[in-house]
């Protein structure tokens, strides 16, 4: 498979060069302000998890887990194998119902959300699943258009124009719009999935191992892309990763899953000094960055 050269990083959401994007009143029509807004709860934190309990049979995954994701932060979530990172992500996304506890997204209690409220919450969030999870029978542009057509009143022609704009934002060449996922390099799959996650101007994005499978140069470029978009668009990012380089490069704080709950959430320089056995091994072990 031939690697497609990737376009330079562009994070300006108003950039329309080469995309066929409309201007003036037509651009205003494409602003995606058609999306319904969920109810506002107390507080300004996009994600608040309280006393979360997850188990499968007799196997307890989470026990009274608490976590707050602050608006505008890039949070890295780490933990050993079997610590429940994926179960936590699926719980927050509404893909898994916990035994007990509360999850609030933008002040709305997730488990109590009515269908219309749940749809409004999904419109404010985007997800990049591990491996991209692109629809194999849809082109790059069609994959990105999927949430636009679901959550807005734009017609297919307008949705495609927005999809092209999102492609430019994530550094995808516009000539890739009609390529199928099987024709893409690993880096282009990741960028397409990220463009889809941002398609309806999400405020909160969830990333599951976003640099997995990328070479060091590609991973560093993707880290730079995520950080640049987070800063320029004011995104809140919830990122599960094993990549130490990503944690150091882009995360404001790290949440560590161990002993069935979040044992600490703090800046990386604080975690480096932790005497918790797993955290100490993670940062000071053979593959850690802290020596001595």
More confident residue, 288 or 106: 106
**Domains annotated on the chain, with CATH:** 14-34+135-201 (3.40.50.300), 44-124+203-292 (3.40.50.300)
pLDDT per residue as tens digits for the range 152-206? 999 999 999 999 999 999 999 999 999 999 999 999 999 999 999 999 989 999 9
Q: What is the pTM of this model?
A: 0.83
pLDDT at 146 over 50: yes
Give DSSP secondary structure letters for the chain.
Answer: -PPPPPPPP---TT--TTTT---HHHHHHTS-TTSPPPPP-SSS-SEEEEEEEEEETTEEEEEEEEEEE-TT-EEEEEE-TTS-HHHHHHHHTTSS--SEEEEEETTEEGGG--HHHHHHHHHTEEEE-TT----TTS-HHHHHHHHHHHHS---HHHHHHHHHHHHHHTT--GGGTT--GGGS-HHHHHHHHHHHHTTT--SEEEEESTTTT--HHHHHHHHHHHHHHHHHHT-EEEEE---HHHHHHH-SEEEEEETTEEEEEE-HHHHTT---HHHHHHHHSTT-S---
pLDDT per residue as tens digits for the range 51-99? 999 999 999 999 999 999 999 999 999 999 889 999 999 999 989 999 9
The pLDDT of residue 291 is: 63
Least confident of 18-22, 256-260, 284-288: 18-22
- What value does the mean pLDDT of the chain take? 86
The pLDDT of residue 154 is: 96
pLDDT category of residue 114 using cuts at 50, 70 and 90: confident
The pLDDT of residue 112 is: 86
pLDDT at 17 over 50: no
Once rounded to an integer, what is the mean pLDDT over residues 266-276? 95
């Amino acid at each position: 498979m031939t690697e497609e050269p990737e376009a330079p990083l562009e994070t300006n959401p108003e950039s329309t060069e080469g995309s066929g994007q409309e201007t003036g009143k037509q651009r205003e029509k494409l602003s995606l302000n058609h999306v319904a807004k969920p109810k506002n709860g107390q507080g300004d934190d996009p994600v608040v998890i309280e006393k979360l309990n997850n188990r499968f049979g007799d196997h307890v995954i989470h026990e009274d887990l608490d976590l707050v994701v602050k608006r505008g932060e890039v949070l890295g979530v780490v933990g050993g194998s079997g610590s429940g990172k994926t179960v936590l992500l699926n719980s927050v996304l509404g893909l898994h119902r916990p035994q007990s506890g509360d999850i609030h997204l933008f002040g709305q209690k997730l488990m109590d959300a009515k269908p219309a409220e749940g749809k409004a919450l999904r419109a404010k969030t985007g997800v990049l699943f591990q491996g991209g999870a692109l629809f194999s029978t849809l082109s790059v542009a069609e994959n990105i258009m999927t949430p636009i057509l679901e959550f807005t009143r734009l017609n297919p022609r307008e949705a495609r124009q927005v999809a092209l704009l999102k492609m430019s934002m994530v550094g995808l060449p516009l000539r890739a719009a009609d390529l199928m996922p099987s024709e893409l390099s690993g880096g282009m799959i990741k960028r397409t999935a990220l463009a889809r996650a941002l398609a309806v101007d999400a405020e909160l994005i969830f990333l599951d191992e976003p640099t997995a499978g990328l070479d060091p140069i590609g991973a560093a470029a993707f880290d730079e892309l995520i950080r640049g978009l987070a800063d320029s668009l004011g995104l809140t990012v919830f990122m599960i990763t094993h990549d130490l380089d990503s944690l150091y490069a882009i995360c404001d704080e790290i949440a560590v899953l161990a002993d069935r709950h979040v044992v600490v959430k703090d800046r990386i320089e604080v975690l480096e000094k932790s005497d918790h056995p797993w955290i100490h091994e993670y940062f000071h072990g053979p593959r850690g960055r802290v020596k001595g």
